[in-house]
Amino acid sequence: MARNLPNRKRRTLWSQSGPSPRLVFGAAIIAIVGVLGMTPKEFFGIPLAWPFAALWGAMGWGRVGLSLRPMILLVIFGVMQDIVSNAPLGCFALINLLVYGMSAGIADQTDGMRDTLVAFVGPVVLLSAAFLLVWGFASITSDHIVRTWPLLTSFINTGLIYAFANRMYDLGRRPGESPGGNG
């Protein structure tokens, strides 16, 4: 005689963890990628386009609304990126915070709409805005128009990796929950 068991979703460790462990895990991945990005990035003499890892956190963490802890982490990651890339202090921190705020705004405006179109268009819009901000800051601070291709390849890598790893930066808010309380 077969037992009829109800279909239960398996609860994973990730689904049972709260926003704090998720935030720490995502921040650790960003820090590891950032540290690895300080090493020479060539493969058989071909330079590799390294992703802007802090933008993964800005796009993903912003989906829960505005919260202080992700903002502090994004500022720290931005200042570290400013130092590594010899950018004026605060440029990448500002870009990370602007993308984070836009992500929170998109999440607030599309709450309840978790279909494929919103999940695809939101990050594309955010990455496009971040690309324009990075390109604009680089062009203004260097007194000449910066070539777009190297930046574009880094942003393509950032977007492709985020497409596969975006759940790592999900702090666990469900549609309809009040924003800002989980981060």
> Which of 8-12, 111-115, 178-182 has the least mean pLDDT?
178-182
For residues 169 and 55, what is the distance between their CA atoms, to the nearest angstrom? 10
Amino acid, res. 68: L
* Domain assignments of the chain as residue spans, ordered by start: 17-169
* pLDDT tens digits along 88-122: 899 999 999 999 999 999 888 887 566 676 778 88
3-state secondary structure of 46: strand
For residue 73, the cross-strand partners are: none
* pLDDT tens digits along 55-90: 999 999 998 888 899 999 999 999 999 998 888 899
**CATH code for 17-169?**
1.10.1760
